[in-house]
A and B are shown apart, each in its own frame.
Chain A
Amino acid sequence: MKRILLAALLASASTPALAVTDAEVVKTYADIAEAGYSDSLATAKSLQAAVDALIAAPSVDSLEAAKAAWLAARVPYQQTEVFRFGNPIVDDWEGRVNAWPLDEGLIDYVDPSYGQSEENPLSTLNVIATPKLSIGGKEIDATTITPALIKDSLQEAEGIEANVASGYHAIEFLLWGQDLNGTGPGAGARPFTDYAAGADCTGGNCDRRAQYLKAATDLLVADLEEMAGNWAEGGAARQAVSEDPAKGVQAMLTGMGSLSYGEQAGERMKLGLMLNDPEEEHDCFSDNTHNSHYYDGLGVRNVYLGSYTRPDGSTVSGPSLSELVAAKDGALDTQLKAELDNSVAALEAIRTAVNGGMAYDQMLEAGNKQGEDLIMGAVNALVTQTASIERAVTTLGLSAIEFEGSDSLDNPDAVFQ
């Protein structure tokens, strides 16, 4: 009897020793973030080299090579989007690299059908054609287009979010041009001669277009360098989640849930479908939206499983959130893993359909039942997994029920007197 009791005691004592800790799980999370932003940086540097080559010798091939480099750069970056929500350091920075949607007429020439936005007086500014700018009543010298001009004067000019001057989507527009095919097949079709010298130049101001492309790409590299550093050993973002590992775990789940539900299922997928608007797709110039959505979804699963596969095929992995949840509620862990697999599979089904010839913007067309089913399949899978993510928050005892201090309780009424 005594022996059995001892064995039982040992067995129960061994459980905590085997279980993963918050700190270990958060370390895996930060390691994946560091790897993801480092890979984003490396692929952005390849894009930078391809852009330099395009500008030095514009041709069909050098333009296609730059586009291929852009598409490759999106693969690791989209998998980092899950770090955005829950990490203020990332969220405050994210708009510089991945803001969307944009009024692209701010940057370059656009088709007459584009019109003038009622909400954005700068929506047809065309910086590339305009060396002297007037923004919000201020004269701005844009004789040379520099990273500083883009960052300090153009990005979110006049406080309007649609004035996206920097980041992946500005570069995407400069490589592909507008997609004028509506919900019909085909992506943007910018000719390489938009970067040609002298009389071969199409679209006007080819030298300034090249300047803009170069400046925006250099800026992207600099911005990614900053974020990779934030997640490196001693970096501010890594420190923020490691200081209090329980808060770090909360940030992980917040990122997973917010990206799954409000952002991806809602804002990006369902809304676009319900508007039947072909421009309501994330990578609208390149028709790469299916991949963006897929890698977003994969990133959510990466965080839960504590494993990320890098572009070179190697993996970064460690103690996982999945193990942490499983220790408290095995059934919930099993269910959430299955639901994450389902959403990745549903997003993969969209990619398969695109590779089979139906572009994402075509799926948005009113009356395209098959497209609607594909998109809603992914939306529903993302919504479903959100409920389990919410349950994981509760299971781990992380519900934020404490009062969050706010200065808004001190409320100056003087103006009303």
Chain B
Amino acid sequence: MKPLLVSLCLAATFALPARADVAEAVQDHILPGYARFTEATRALADIDSCAGDTLRDGWNAAYDAWIGVAHLRLGPVEDDGRVLAIAFWPDPKGIGAKQTAAAFRKADPALLTPEQIAEQSVAFRGLTGMERLIYADTPPEGYACDLALALADDLARMAAEVEAGWRSGFAQALTHPGKDGRYHSEAEARQAMLTALVTGVEFNADTRIGRPLATFDIPRPERVESRLSGRTMRNIALSLAATRDLAQTLYAKDSLTDAAFAKAEAMVPRVDLAQVADPQQWLKAEILAQSIHAIRDAAMAEIAPALGTGIGFNAADGD
């Protein structure tokens, strides 16, 4: 009897923790990433002046931290429109700029309270809402400055909520799936991770590069992400680094995928999407997009079979 009990206990010990892939992604990639984002937005919210470069520096640090987790389109960030509000882009109809202009016309101080600002349109808020204010032709003063500071507080609130949501339940739902949770099985949790990885990688090619690339005949350099702040290429570099890290935590032996990442990352410094109207630059940008698609192909060839799963439905399924 006794030996049997021991072996049962052993089996239980080995069976309890979820597979290392998802658990490692959560512990080593997701939670530290959100902690950095909370930290950076808190530091941004602590700034109480629009003078000098302090606000821009804080904003850039927060943006850097956001790119570290922006590919994770699952969990608390999907609630209450947070992912849309944190960095609303692309905005093809220029809704954010219109709503910012409308707010200036009213200059309503009541709008700046935490409760009111949280109710405003996602295109008006977040990192992109702040960018319009702190990278305007003239430094923000008066109402524009008050609005920028209020948006910084709003960002810090959302970041804290997202991290708290992960730590208080969503991480557990992923690493300990079960019939009553969001994920019923380890396979479903692995599928969610693979979906985040692949759609996160592809966003760089399809949207960050694809929008300005447009067509060879009519390129659209004005459509780059972070046009005013000039962060365009930095966002792509950081996003590739972040998704590369996620791939590594999901499957440590991802040599094919990792090599594809390395190849694409090496091209980034030589591409400038703001110059995409130049045919030479256009071609370089297109090749970078192709090399990013090659990362997806490698991940599907290597990591998907290792995890035994495919891609699930995702936010990019629409048009």
Q: Given A401-B308, A403-B301, are A119 and B313 also a contact pair (CB < 8 Å)? A: no
Q: Which of B294-319 contact A (CB under 8 A)?
A: 294, 297-298, 300-301, 304-305, 308-319
Contact between chains at B85 and A274 (CB < 8 Å): yes
User: Within 8 Å of chain B (Cβ to Cβ): is A370?
Assistant: no
Within 8 Å by CB of B287, from A101, A273, A394, A415, lies: A415
- Tell me the nearest residue of chain A to B286, going by C-beta: A415
Contact between chains at B93 and A162 (CB < 8 Å): yes
Give the chain B neighbours of A387 by CB distance below 8 A.
Answer: 182
Give the chain A neighbours of B92 by CB distance below 8 A.
Answer: 119, 161-162
User: Within 8 Å of chain A (Cβ to Cβ): is B214?
Assistant: yes
Q: Given A159-B214, A409-B297, are A401 and B121 also a contact pair (CB < 8 Å)? A: no
Shortest Cβ gap from B220 to chain A (Å): 8
Contact between chains at A401 and B94 (CB < 8 Å): no
Contact between chains at A119 and B222 (CB < 8 Å): yes
Q: Which of A6-49 contact B (CB under 8 A)?
A: none
Q: Given A119-B222, A400-B311, are A261 and B317 also a contact pair (CB < 8 Å)? A: yes
Q: Given A261-B313, A399-B310, A415-B280, are A366 and B119 also a contact pair (CB < 8 Å)? A: yes
Contact between chains at A404 and B95 (CB < 8 Å): no
Within 8 Å by CB of A411, from B188, B214, B217, B287, lies: B287
Within 8 Å by CB of B317, from A263, A408, A415, lies: A263
- Tell me the nearest residue of chain A to B182, going by C-beta: A387
Mark contacts of B239-282 with chain A using CB atoms, 8 A cut-off: 1 yes-contact digit, 0 otherwise.
00000000000000000000000010001001000000000100
Mark contacts of B186-229 with chain A using CB atoms, 8 A cut-off: 1 yes-contact digit, 0 otherwise.
01100100000000000000000000001101101011000000
| Bound-state Cα–Cα, A235 to B267, Å | 45
Q: Is the interface of B mostly helix, strand, loop or mixed?
A: helix
| Bound-state Cα–Cα, A415 to B95, Å | 37
- Tell me the nearest residue of chain A to B293, going by C-beta: A408
User: Within 8 Å of chain B (Cβ to Cβ): is A262?
Assistant: yes
Contact between chains at B318 and A274 (CB < 8 Å): no
User: Within 8 Å of chain A (Cβ to Cβ): is B159?
Assistant: no
| Bound-state Cα–Cα, A74 to B317, Å | 23
Q: Which of B84-105 contact A (CB under 8 A)?
A: 84-85, 92-95, 97-98
Contact between chains at B283 and A262 (CB < 8 Å): no
Give the chain A neighbours of B314 by CB distance below 8 A.
Answer: 261-262
Contact between chains at B308 and A415 (CB < 8 Å): no
Within 8 Å by CB of B121, from A366, A390, A406, lies: A366
Interface footprint category on A: 35 or more
Contact between chains at A258 and B313 (CB < 8 Å): yes
Contact between chains at B317 and A275 (CB < 8 Å): no
Contact between chains at A270 and B81 (CB < 8 Å): yes
Q: Given A387-B182, A416-B267, are A408 and B318 also a contact pair (CB < 8 Å)? A: no
| Bound-state Cα–Cα, A275 to B316, Å | 18
Contact between chains at A117 and B93 (CB < 8 Å): yes
Contact between chains at A274 and B84 (CB < 8 Å): yes
Give the chain B neighbours of A394 by CB distance below 8 A.
Answer: 187-188, 191
Contact between chains at A101 and B313 (CB < 8 Å): no
Give the chain A neighbours of B270 by CB distance below 8 A.
Answer: 416
User: Within 8 Å of chain B (Cβ to Cβ): is A389?
Assistant: yes
Shortest Cβ gap from B135 to chain A (Å): 16
Contact between chains at A401 and B304 (CB < 8 Å): yes
User: Within 8 Å of chain A (Cβ to Cβ): is B290?
Assistant: yes
Beyond contacts A399-B310, A403-B297: 8 other A-B pairs, Cβ-Cβ < 8 A, are A115-B98, A161-B92, A261-B315, A274-B122, A275-B95, A276-B121, A277-B121, A401-B308
Binding site for A on B (CB under 8 A): 81, 84-85, 92-95, 97-98, 119-123, 182, 184, 187-188, 191, 214-215, 217-218, 220, 222-223, 263, 267, 270, 280, 283-284, 287, 290-291, 293-294, 297-298, 300-301, 304-305, 308-319
The 5 tightest CB contacts between A and B, nearest first, are A262-B317, A267-B318, A399-B310, A263-B318, A262-B318
